[in-house]
Amino acid sequence: MNVGRWISVAASVMAAGLLARAVPVVAHHSSAEAYDARKKAEAQGTVTKVLLRNPHSFVFIETTDEKGQKIEWQVELVAWSQMFIQGWTKDMLTPGMVVKVVGIPSRAPGSHGITNAQFTRPDGSRIGPQGGREGRGGEPTGP
């Protein structure tokens, strides 16, 4: 698989209440201003950079559109300190990996952000839990 090979890119707009319902609530920053949970974004390409940081982590994916133009998708995840708790490890996403990501797109015209993302390998197997800027949360479970 060539680096940067674009298998399929679809930033499709759909009434995706399904995704909106899947968005857990854990965050310091609200994502509603930056991302549109009514839409769905999907991209597949090669990981070029991984920034596991606080307050938010980012994974950069290079794809090529139908006109041959390279597009850099920026996938925003929750803080690394929380990803770590959720079970992420630093070797789960590394530069050179070919991945598919499905999430919700950024609002600003011309931007290529995705959050609340689920990463998968070409064989369809999942990489890490679904998560995004708002992480994975849940209701309190008590002591």
Partner 1 sequence: MRGTISRASLARCFGGAACAALLTVMIGHAPPKLNAQSNPAPSTIPDLAGIWDGTPRARPANNPDVPWAKAGQRLGKPLPDGTIGNENTPPTFPELNERALAYVKVFDEALSPKYDCQPATPPAIEYDPYNTEIVQWPDRVLFRYEKDDQLRTVWMNGRQPTVHDWGIQGFSVGRYEGNALLVETTHFLFDITGFDDYNYIPSSQEKKVNERYWREGNELKATITVEDPLFLKKPASFTTRWLPAPKGYKLQSFECDPETARLSVQYLPKRYK
Q: Interface with partner 1 by CB under 8 A: which residues?
A: 25-30, 33-35, 51, 53-58, 74, 76, 79, 81-82, 84-85, 106-109, 111, 113, 133, 137-143
To partner 1, the closest distance from the beta carbon of 33 in angstroms equals 4
Contact present, 88 and 50 (Cβ < 8 Å) = no
Rounded-to-integer distance, Cα 31 and Cα 34, Å: 5
Give the nearer residue to partner 1 in terms of CB position, either 100 or 133: 133
Rounded-to-integer distance, Cα 127 and Cα 119, Å: 5
| Cis previous bond, 55, omega within 30 | yes
Give the nearer residue to partner 1 in terms of CB position, either 56 or 100: 56
Give the nearer residue to partner 1 in terms of CB position, either 9 or 59: 59
Give the nearer residue to partner 1 in terms of CB position, either 5 or 53: 53
Phi, psi dihedrals of residue 8, rounded to the nearest 5°:
-160, 135
Rounded-to-integer distance, Cα 89 and Cα 108, Å: 31
Rounded-to-integer distance, Cα 86 and Cα 61, Å: 22
